[in-house]
Amino acid sequence: MEDRLAAWLAAQPDAAIDDLDIAGDAAMLDDALDGRIASGRMRIWRGPRRLVVSPRLARLPDLPAAADRAARAGWPVAVRLSGGTTVVHRPGILNVSRVDMVEGNGIDAEQGYRALCETIVAALARLGVQADTGPVAESHCDGRHNIRWNGRKLAGTSAAIRQRNGRTVCLTHANIAVSGDVAEDVAAIAAFERWLGLDALYDPDAHTTVETAHDKSSLKGRGTMPLGMVEG
Protein backbone atom coordinates (compact mmCIF):
# COMPACT_ATOMS: atom_id res chain seq x y z
CA MET A 1 0.00 0.00 0.00
CA GLU A 2 2.75 2.46 0.96
CA ASP A 3 4.75 1.72 -2.20
CA ARG A 4 1.65 2.10 -4.39
CA LEU A 5 0.78 5.47 -2.87
CA ALA A 6 4.39 6.65 -3.18
CA ALA A 7 4.53 5.58 -6.83
CA TRP A 8 1.32 7.43 -7.73
CA LEU A 9 2.53 10.57 -5.99
CA ALA A 10 5.92 10.30 -7.70
CA ALA A 11 4.17 10.06 -11.08
CA GLN A 12 3.16 13.73 -10.75
CA PRO A 13 5.13 16.30 -12.78
CA ASP A 14 8.30 17.45 -10.97
CA ALA A 15 7.94 14.79 -8.27
CA ALA A 16 10.36 12.10 -7.16
CA ILE A 17 11.06 9.63 -4.35
CA ASP A 18 14.36 10.27 -2.55
CA ASP A 19 16.31 9.07 0.50
CA LEU A 20 17.47 12.47 1.78
CA ASP A 21 15.29 12.36 4.91
CA ILE A 22 14.54 15.66 6.71
CA ALA A 23 17.62 17.36 5.26
CA GLY A 24 16.04 17.11 1.82
CA ASP A 25 13.44 19.73 2.76
CA ALA A 26 16.08 22.35 3.52
CA ALA A 27 17.91 21.53 0.29
CA MET A 28 14.73 21.76 -1.78
CA LEU A 29 13.76 25.06 -0.15
CA ASP A 30 17.23 26.51 -0.83
CA ASP A 31 17.05 25.38 -4.46
CA ALA A 32 13.68 27.10 -4.87
CA LEU A 33 14.86 30.32 -3.21
CA ASP A 34 17.93 30.42 -5.49
CA GLY A 35 15.85 29.71 -8.61
CA ARG A 36 17.40 26.32 -9.34
CA ILE A 37 14.04 24.50 -9.31
CA ALA A 38 10.57 25.58 -10.36
CA SER A 39 7.44 26.03 -8.32
CA GLY A 40 5.58 22.78 -7.70
CA ARG A 41 8.58 20.52 -7.06
CA MET A 42 7.62 17.65 -4.75
CA ARG A 43 9.58 14.98 -2.90
CA ILE A 44 8.27 11.74 -1.41
CA TRP A 45 10.35 10.30 1.39
CA ARG A 46 10.49 8.16 4.52
CA GLY A 47 12.21 8.61 7.86
CA PRO A 48 13.38 6.29 10.65
CA ARG A 49 11.40 5.81 13.87
CA ARG A 50 11.41 9.06 15.85
CA LEU A 51 9.39 12.05 17.00
CA VAL A 52 9.72 15.18 14.86
CA VAL A 53 8.99 18.61 16.30
CA SER A 54 8.53 22.11 14.94
CA PRO A 55 11.04 24.90 15.58
CA ARG A 56 8.61 26.45 18.08
CA LEU A 57 8.60 23.33 20.28
CA ALA A 58 12.36 22.95 19.85
CA ARG A 59 12.79 26.32 21.58
CA LEU A 60 10.94 25.27 24.75
CA PRO A 61 13.20 25.11 27.81
CA ASP A 62 12.19 21.56 28.68
CA LEU A 63 13.09 20.20 25.22
CA PRO A 64 16.51 18.70 26.15
CA ALA A 65 15.13 16.74 29.11
CA ALA A 66 12.00 15.67 27.22
CA ALA A 67 14.05 14.58 24.20
CA ASP A 68 16.31 12.51 26.44
CA ARG A 69 13.32 10.76 28.04
CA ALA A 70 11.77 10.13 24.63
CA ALA A 71 15.02 8.69 23.25
CA ARG A 72 15.30 6.32 26.21
CA ALA A 73 11.72 5.23 25.48
CA GLY A 74 12.70 4.38 21.89
CA TRP A 75 11.69 7.65 20.24
CA PRO A 76 14.65 9.88 19.29
CA VAL A 77 13.69 13.49 18.57
CA ALA A 78 14.45 15.54 15.45
CA VAL A 79 13.50 19.07 14.37
CA ARG A 80 11.85 19.96 11.06
CA LEU A 81 11.56 23.28 9.22
CA SER A 82 7.79 23.60 9.21
CA GLY A 83 5.33 24.59 11.92
CA GLY A 84 2.82 22.68 14.03
CA THR A 85 3.67 20.51 17.03
CA THR A 86 4.85 16.85 17.16
CA VAL A 87 4.48 14.06 14.59
CA VAL A 88 5.84 10.54 14.24
CA HIS A 89 8.19 9.15 11.60
CA ARG A 90 8.50 5.37 11.31
CA PRO A 91 7.99 2.56 8.81
CA GLY A 92 4.40 2.93 7.61
CA ILE A 93 4.55 6.74 7.57
CA LEU A 94 4.98 8.42 4.18
CA ASN A 95 6.20 12.01 4.00
CA VAL A 96 5.46 14.35 1.11
CA SER A 97 7.07 17.80 0.80
CA ARG A 98 6.42 20.46 -1.83
CA VAL A 99 7.70 23.96 -2.67
CA ASP A 100 5.60 26.68 -4.29
CA MET A 101 6.43 30.27 -5.18
CA VAL A 102 4.22 32.78 -3.39
CA GLU A 103 2.94 35.37 -5.85
CA GLY A 104 2.64 39.07 -4.99
CA ASN A 105 3.73 40.72 -1.77
CA GLY A 106 1.76 38.55 0.65
CA ILE A 107 3.02 35.74 2.82
CA ASP A 108 0.34 33.10 2.53
CA ALA A 109 0.63 29.32 2.69
CA GLU A 110 -2.92 28.63 1.47
CA GLN A 111 -1.94 28.07 -2.16
CA GLY A 112 0.76 25.60 -1.16
CA TYR A 113 -1.53 23.75 1.25
CA ARG A 114 -4.24 23.49 -1.39
CA ALA A 115 -1.88 22.15 -4.07
CA LEU A 116 -0.33 19.59 -1.71
CA CYS A 117 -3.64 18.36 -0.31
CA GLU A 118 -5.32 18.11 -3.71
CA THR A 119 -2.47 15.97 -5.00
CA ILE A 120 -2.60 13.59 -2.04
CA VAL A 121 -6.40 13.36 -2.01
CA ALA A 122 -6.33 12.48 -5.73
CA ALA A 123 -3.69 9.78 -5.15
CA LEU A 124 -5.73 8.31 -2.29
CA ALA A 125 -8.80 8.21 -4.53
CA ARG A 126 -6.84 5.99 -6.94
CA LEU A 127 -6.45 3.57 -4.02
CA GLY A 128 -10.21 3.66 -3.43
CA VAL A 129 -9.96 5.94 -0.36
CA GLN A 130 -12.25 8.97 -0.62
CA ALA A 131 -10.58 11.60 1.55
CA ASP A 132 -11.21 15.26 2.27
CA THR A 133 -9.52 18.04 4.27
CA GLY A 134 -10.33 19.84 7.49
CA PRO A 135 -9.78 19.87 11.26
CA VAL A 136 -10.14 16.74 13.40
CA ALA A 137 -11.06 17.31 17.04
CA GLU A 138 -8.70 15.72 19.61
CA SER A 139 -6.10 14.76 17.01
CA HIS A 140 -2.45 15.60 17.54
CA CYS A 141 -0.93 18.45 15.52
CA ASP A 142 -4.42 19.46 14.43
CA GLY A 143 -5.04 22.06 11.73
CA ARG A 144 -7.39 23.17 8.98
CA HIS A 145 -5.52 21.18 6.35
CA ASN A 146 -5.58 17.66 7.78
CA ILE A 147 -6.38 14.95 5.25
CA ARG A 148 -9.32 12.94 6.61
CA TRP A 149 -11.31 9.80 5.94
CA ASN A 150 -14.74 9.53 7.54
CA GLY A 151 -13.80 12.35 9.90
CA ARG A 152 -10.63 10.63 11.10
CA LYS A 153 -7.14 11.93 10.46
CA LEU A 154 -4.99 10.20 7.85
CA ALA A 155 -2.37 12.93 7.50
CA GLY A 156 -1.31 16.18 9.06
CA THR A 157 0.23 19.07 7.18
CA SER A 158 2.52 21.95 8.06
CA ALA A 159 4.24 24.81 6.27
CA ALA A 160 7.22 27.14 6.33
CA ILE A 161 7.71 30.33 4.30
CA ARG A 162 11.09 31.84 3.48
CA GLN A 163 12.19 34.90 1.47
CA ARG A 164 15.49 35.43 -0.37
CA ASN A 165 16.74 36.92 -3.61
CA GLY A 166 13.41 38.62 -4.21
CA ARG A 167 11.57 35.31 -4.02
CA THR A 168 9.05 34.08 -1.49
CA VAL A 169 8.76 30.30 -1.27
CA CYS A 170 6.30 28.19 0.69
CA LEU A 171 7.36 24.70 1.78
CA THR A 172 4.44 22.44 2.68
CA HIS A 173 4.74 18.99 4.19
CA ALA A 174 2.34 16.10 4.78
CA ASN A 175 2.87 13.22 7.20
CA ILE A 176 0.65 10.33 6.02
CA ALA A 177 -0.16 7.35 8.24
CA VAL A 178 -0.31 4.55 5.68
CA SER A 179 -0.12 1.63 8.12
CA GLY A 180 0.92 0.77 11.66
CA ASP A 181 -0.27 1.40 15.20
CA VAL A 182 -1.66 4.94 15.42
CA ALA A 183 -2.57 4.41 19.08
CA GLU A 184 1.12 3.86 19.85
CA ASP A 185 1.97 6.99 17.86
CA VAL A 186 -0.54 9.09 19.79
CA ALA A 187 0.66 7.75 23.14
CA ALA A 188 4.30 8.56 22.32
CA ILE A 189 3.44 12.08 21.17
CA ALA A 190 1.20 12.78 24.18
CA ALA A 191 3.84 11.61 26.67
CA PHE A 192 6.56 13.68 25.01
CA GLU A 193 4.45 16.84 24.88
CA ARG A 194 3.47 16.42 28.54
CA TRP A 195 7.19 16.24 29.36
CA LEU A 196 7.46 19.56 27.54
CA GLY A 197 4.82 20.99 29.87
CA LEU A 198 2.04 21.05 27.26
CA ASP A 199 -1.58 19.96 27.62
CA ALA A 200 -1.56 16.91 25.35
CA LEU A 201 -5.03 15.39 25.37
CA TYR A 202 -5.42 13.37 22.17
CA ASP A 203 -7.85 10.64 21.18
CA PRO A 204 -6.34 7.69 19.30
CA ASP A 205 -9.74 7.12 17.67
CA ALA A 206 -9.40 10.52 15.97
CA HIS A 207 -6.72 8.90 13.80
CA THR A 208 -6.65 6.08 11.28
CA THR A 209 -4.43 4.74 8.50
CA VAL A 210 -4.72 4.57 4.73
CA GLU A 211 -4.59 0.79 4.99
CA THR A 212 -7.57 0.70 7.38
CA ALA A 213 -9.53 3.18 5.28
CA HIS A 214 -8.84 1.14 2.14
CA ASP A 215 -9.91 -2.13 3.73
CA LYS A 216 -13.12 -0.69 5.17
CA SER A 217 -13.92 1.12 1.91
CA SER A 218 -13.44 -2.13 -0.02
CA LEU A 219 -15.79 -4.02 2.32
CA LYS A 220 -18.38 -1.28 2.07
CA GLY A 221 -18.15 -1.33 -1.71
CA ARG A 222 -18.81 -5.06 -1.75
CA GLY A 223 -21.74 -4.62 0.62
CA THR A 224 -20.47 -7.36 2.96
CA MET A 225 -18.64 -7.47 6.23
CA PRO A 226 -17.01 -10.44 7.93
CA LEU A 227 -18.79 -11.77 10.98
CA GLY A 228 -17.71 -9.96 14.14
CA MET A 229 -16.29 -6.90 12.35
CA VAL A 230 -17.81 -3.56 13.23
CA GLU A 231 -17.22 -0.59 10.98
CA GLY A 232 -16.13 2.49 12.89
Classify 4 in phi/psi space as left (phi over 0), alpha (psi -120 to 50) or beta: alpha
125: which residues sit within 8 A by CB, 6+ positions away?
131
Alpha-carbon distance 68 to 64, whole Å? 6
Catalytic residue among 109, 121, 141, 213: 141
Closest among 15, 70, 21, 74 to 49, alpha carbons compared:
74
Distance CA 194, CA 13 (A): 41
CA distance 190 to 207: 14
Handedness of CA 29, 32, 36, 38 (dihedral sign): positive
Answer for the pair 134, 154: CB distance below 8 angstroms, yes or no: no
Active-site residue, 170 included: no
Find the largest Cα–Cα distance for the chain: 62
Catalytic residue annotation: 141
